[in-house]
Amino acid sequence: MIGTLTRETPVIVQGITGRMGRTHAALMRAYGTNIVGGTSGRTDIREAAGVPVFASCADAVMETGAIASVAMAPPGETLAAVQEALAAGIRLIVTVAEGVPLHDAIRIGRLTRRAGATWIGASTPGMAIPGVLKLGFLPDVCLRPGPLAIMTKSGTLSYEVGYRLAREGLGQSIWVGVGGDPVKGVRFADLLPTFFDDPRTRGIVLVGEVGGSEEEECADAYDRLGPRKPLYALVAGREAKEGVSMGHAGALVHGEVGSLASKHARLTAAGARAFDSIEQLIQACARDFRALKTG
pLDDT tens-digit series, residues 114-159: 999 999 999 999 999 999 999 999 999 999 999 999 999 988 999 9
CA angle 152/153/156 to nearest 5° reads 85
Residues 173, 145 contacting (CB under 8 angstroms): yes
CA angle 251/254/255 to nearest 5° reads 135
DSSP 8-state class, residue 238: T
pLDDT of 228 higher than 60? yes
Q: pLDDT per residue over 163-217, tens digit each?
A: 999 999 999 999 999 998 889 999 999 999 999 999 999 999 999 998 889 999 9
Under the banding of pLDDT at 50, 70 and 90, the label for residue 244 is: very low
Q: Which class is 139-289 in CATH?
A: alpha beta
Determine which one of 103, 248, 254, 264 is catalytic.
248
CA distances to 130, 190, 213 from 220, in Å: 28, 12, 11
Q: Which class is 2-120 in CATH?
A: alpha beta
| Angstrom distance (rounded) from CA 61 to CA 154 | 32
Parse the chain into domains and list their residue ranges.
Answer: 2-120, 139-289
Mean pLDDT of the chain: 92
What pLDDT, on a 0 to 100 scale, did the predictor assign at position 112? 98
What pLDDT, on a 0 to 100 scale, did the predictor assign at position 263? 94
Residue 248 a catalytic site member: yes
Query: For the residues 278-286, what does the mean pLDDT come to?
Result: 96
Residue 147 has a CB neighbour count (10 Å cut-off) of 21
Residues 94, 177 contacting (CB under 8 angstroms): no
Q: pLDDT per residue over 32-70, tens digit each?
A: 999 999 999 988 999 999 999 999 999 999 999 999 999
| CB-neighbour burial class of residue 36 (10 A; exposed 0-12, middle 13-18, buried 19+) | buried
DSSP 8-state class, residue 292: G
Q: Who wins on pLDDT, 92 or 238?
A: 92
